[in-house]
Amino acid sequence: MEKHLCPFCHQELEMEHRIKFVDYYCRNDEHYFAKRLCKGELLAIKIRLTEPDGEKLYLKVHFNEGYSEVWKHSNQVARFRINHTFVLDYNNPEAIKKKIRTCITFG
């Protein structure tokens, strides 16, 4: 069975089987990373990164539907939709945070 690793901390992802898809995830204080697969195809990823002040920034990329969403924990109701998917450099979480903040600011 293929191992799925968190792109941030490189720990093995936990797995949950659903009827139509499989979720893999990593959860800790600094980040949350999840990906959803269906028949081996990546459908979506969800990321939460925590700022030094404790603010939580979220990004969800819907590869199968071709759009992304960004939001902050403090205004969880207001999700901003971006009509494209992001290519992310997981080696640079600060750049991902900046991208999320920029999308929220100009959302």
* Strand duo 56-62 + 31-38: pairing: unpaired
Give tens-digit pLDDT for 28-81: 989 999 999 999 899 999 999 999 998 999 999 999 999 999 999 876 668 899
Q: Is 61 exposed, middle or buried (0-12, 13-18, 19+ CB in 10 A)?
A: buried
DSSP H/E element including 95? helix 93-106
Q: Which residues contact 98 (CB under 8 A, 6 or more apart)?
A: none
Q: Would you list the domain boundaries of the chain?
A: 14-106
Phi, psi for residue 5 in degrees, rounded to 5: -110, 150
Q: Which residues contact 37 (CB under 8 A, 6 or more apart)?
A: 21, 22, 24, 43
Give tens-digit pLDDT for 2-22: 899 999 999 999 999 988 999
